[in-house]
Structure formats: C-alpha cells, structure tokens
Amino acid sequence: MTLRTRRIGDRDVYPIGLGCMNITHAYGPPIEEGDAKHLLQRALDIGCNFLDTATIYGLGRSEELIGEALGHRRQDYFLASKCVLGFRDGQRYLDGSPEAIKAACEASLQRLHTDVIDLYYLHRPDPKVPVEDSAGALADLVRDGKIRFIGLSEMGEEQLRRAHSVHPVAALQSEYSLWVRNPEIAVLDACAQLGTALVAFSPVGRGFLADPPADPASFHPSDLRRMMFPRFSEAYYPANLPLLDAAREVANEAGCTVAQLALAWTLAKGEHVIPIPGTTKLSHLEENHHAATVQLTPEQVARLDAHFAPERAAGPRYNAMGQATVTTEMYEFEKAAHGG
C-alpha cells in the first residue's frame, strides 16, 4: 500500500520516526556501539527517515553515534535534536538563555557531523528564562542557517502559543500513548490549529504497550523506569496490566502486535501526529516501522479510547521531581495526586 507521509515544517517524513535515546541511556546500559550504528543504518535502509536525539542522551554520545554512523548519508534523513537540558563536567543542567542555546547548537552540530539540524527543540522549559527569549534564540539560529525549524518539548498550550508568536513552531514533542493521554487536554488541538506537528514520544508506553509488556522485575538498576515512572512500581504496575486485555483483543482483530496497535492508534489521532518509538533491537525497529500500514477502524479507535480512559491508568506518569520539570497540562485527578 502507498503510505502518506507526514509533515514537519515543509518537509515530509515517514509516519513513524525513531527516538534515539535508548541506544545510549535511560533504560539500562548503552548497547554496543557497533550494534547502535547498525540499528541507525538499518533504520534508513528500511525508510525510517526521521531521527530524534538530544544533547542530554548519553551526555552527547547519541548525537555522536548518529554523526559517525550516518554523516555520509546526511541527505537521507530528517534530523532533530534538543537543547536547554545539557551537560557540563558530566552533570545535567538546565539553561534556556539565548547564549547557552546557541553554544549548545554549535556543539551539537560538531557531534552530529553536519552543518544544519532540521529541527531543534527546547527540551524542557527553563523557569528562569521567558520562553519568548529562548524561542528568539532559535529564530536567530534559523536565520543563521544552523537549524531549519524550531520545536518545543514537554510544554503546554500557553508556552506553545507564546513561542509561536515569536517564530512558527514546527513541532511540539510530548509523551502521548494509549497510557498517557495528556495532549488531548489542549496541545493536540492547538498543534492542529497552528500547523505544528505533535511528535509523540514513548508511544509504546516505555515498553508497557507490548505483548509481553515490559517486566519491572527484569529492569537494570540504572533503568529510569525504576526511579522516575511510578506506573512501573510495585504499588501500581499490577493494577495497570488488565488494561492490556482490550489492546490484545483489538490487535488480534487488526492482525498486528500490541506495539503496532499502540502506534497505529497514535497515527489515527490526527494527520499531524508523528510517533517516535525508541528501541535497541532490530526486530522491534522493523515491527514499529511496519505499524504505519495498520489501519484501525473508527470503532476500534473509540473502543481503545474508552478502555484506556486517562483515569483508568494507575499511578502518576512522573514522580514529583520529573513532573516539576514540565508544563504539559494535567488532568484534575493528576493534580490532586501531586498535591496541586
């Protein structure tokens, strides 16, 4: 079948991209660098032409691996990276000042072996710096030819509209899946109104929306799911597992895996939605890629919407520290759980 591409700015990309965090950190030790490069090369070979990385992933190593593995194929892919969340002397820091953003971009260009980044996001809001100032720095980078489009990550509608008033925002990245429905509060519609792509990260629920689902008992001690994401804790995880029953039922009807179903559901939520699942496995890369061919009926989407109603997920999506770093909208029951 002929697949319709999706658009970021004036560029067309395959409907499902590749998140490049997992290859260097977050869910356990980095994979072997040769394997990581092979995974990146295979992504391009099968037509996955949207790669999404960040300065903070592996403290710059994710960007370096992309540059080393794919620098000679730069015309074959749409490249996104992020700033504001950075690293200095091996430590994370948050700096949305114009000077820091421009310095971070220069460093990313070096690591990525390129002279232009297609999409450059503010990775997190910096509460010390008005978003208009940070967006203005990104606009300067567009004028200087260092980046092509500007983006935001983990921000709500207010900051999206404020940044957009400075320079068109080509993409807003937000966690969006059957398990995390927060974009539906405001930014899903706001993005559609503004012509902004909604880039959905963790669309497979950090491995929960799979069959079998991720097993917290097998997580590496360094896996962030042990620390930052309460839904994987002993207190909440067992209560979430029954949600998968309906997902398996609909996946069987659609002739796909549960992970593919999760991706197909995000694609069904709007032509401006682009999921970017991450993986370290070639088999999962190809499984995710082919999810773009899965067609769900409106009735199946409605059933999944109802079964995965936001209030049915057990536990908050972030711990208190993680929630404090984002400005994405929350449901009232979530605010109550966080004491807000």
Q: Which residues contact 258 (CB under 8 A, 6 or more apart)?
A: 209, 210, 211, 244, 247, 248, 251
Show the 3-state SS of 77-102.
Answer: CEEEEEECEEEECCEEEECCCHHHHH
Greatest alpha-carbon pair distance for the chain in Å reads 53
Question: Does a cis peptide bond (omega within 30 degrees of 0) precede residue 212?
Answer: yes
Distance (Å, whole) CA 53 – CA 39: 14
From 14, 27, 57, 176, the catalytic residue: 57
Q: Is-catalytic flag, 14?
A: no
Judging by DSSP bridges, how do beta strands 78-83 and 50-52 pair with one another?
parallel
- Please, are residues 57 and 96 in contact by the beta-carbon 8 Å criterion? no
- Please, are residues 50 and 317 in contact by the beta-carbon 8 Å criterion? no
**So which residues are the catalytic ones?**
57
